[in-house]
Amino acid sequence: MKLGIVGLPNVGKSTLFNSLTKAGAESANYPFCTINPNVGIVAVPDERLVKLTEMYHSAKTTPAVIEFVDIAGLVKGASKGEGLGNQFLANIREVDAIVHVVRCFDDANVVHVDGSVDPLRDIETINLELIFSDLEVLERRIAKTARGARNDKQLAKELALQNKIKEHLEAGKLAKTFETTDEDELAWLQEYNLLTYKPVIFAANVSEADLADDAAENEYVKAVKAYAAESDCEVFVVCAEIEAEISELEEEERKEFLEGMGLSESGLEKLIRASYSLLGLISYLTAGETETRAWTITKGTRAPQAAGKIHSDFERGFIRAEIVSYDDLVELGSMNAVKEKGLLRSEGKEYVVQDGDVILFKFNV
């Protein structure tokens, strides 16, 4: 999973990126301190892997990972080259979802690029820049499609779609709000990789004082949550400064720190939960002496396609999958006990893999 982090300058974007990835991107109280897109790889915390590793005495443990891309603070006119310009928007075209960091705290010592704190205005500013960038991409596609559309009905159909999307964007609407049930049109829309078609998770960055009660009384956060609900987006509350402190602690210290703050999970865990929910992702597990590993798939994936995540041969030569739920395996303590209880299942090609399935694939190529 690849997530692009965007936001206006000085909203806590790079501070949050640093704390999530410990990649050490420079952060400072001035715009454009992130001159190059910073990339960090983060392991997805999963207690199930720890227990399975202990059970199987695995030599290696491999968690699922998320790749974060931190983009320089965007400003009005970024799509036209203002600030550091459109070059950074290109860096997030390949991400699965956009994490939009929104400032939801007042601090006279941290300047706001627009002079005041207003999360909905900030969201609109970023959205407009993403729309302008998408229009630029779309106009190039229209010019290319138009050349062949005169003698090709399918290209003519696609050209009509491109023009409809262009009108939609020019009206200030995001591509993901464009409605169509036509399968061809849906396929093309996905292929265009438009920034405003991507799922969005809002990170409402609050002060330490607002964090403990999940910012229940923070009017800025209320506004962001209301907007997210209307826009089919996820939102989580985070304090980038606190996350920076947490990132420096060892695992046990981190748990104590969170408990002392009255928090049940870190910002990273909140973000991962929001990401998996938004993108419809789950993890199945494989375990053995050599390796215990988590594999990320989309909900609804059938067994052969899940096997293909490990290797294409597993999918091509799929015979069956031997499956036990993680909860049953841990409760009974061993695979032998699972078999004695009759809880090890043999599933075929139509089986839809569930979150927490521990699987051994049988295949023949």
pLDDT at 308: 96
DSSP, residue by residue, 220-240 = HHHHHHHHHHHHT-EEEEE-H
pLDDT band at 11 (very low <50, low <70, confident <90, very high): confident
Q: Which helix (H) or strand (E) holds 297?
A: strand 292-298
DSSP letter assigned to residue 26: -
- Report how far residue 233's alpha carbon sits from residue 21's, in angstroms, rounded to the nearest whole number: 23
pLDDT band at 129 (very low <50, low <70, confident <90, very high): confident
- Report how far residue 338's alpha carbon sits from residue 267's, in angstroms, rounded to the nearest whole number: 36
Mean pLDDT of the chain: 86
pLDDT band at 80 (very low <50, low <70, confident <90, very high): low
Residues forming a β-bridge with 62: 293
Which of 48-52, 58-62, 207-211, 323-327 is the least confident region? 207-211
Closest-CA residue to 134 (of 64, 198, 195, 199):
195
Mind listing the pLDDT tens digit for each residue in 28-56? 444 444 445 577 888 888 899 999 999 99
Which of 22-26, 42-46, 122-126, 292-296 is the least confident region? 22-26
Look up residue 318 and give its amino acid. Answer: F
pTM: 0.82
Residues forming a β-bridge with 298: 281
Average confidence (pLDDT) over 139-156:
92
Coil, strand or helix: which one is 282? strand
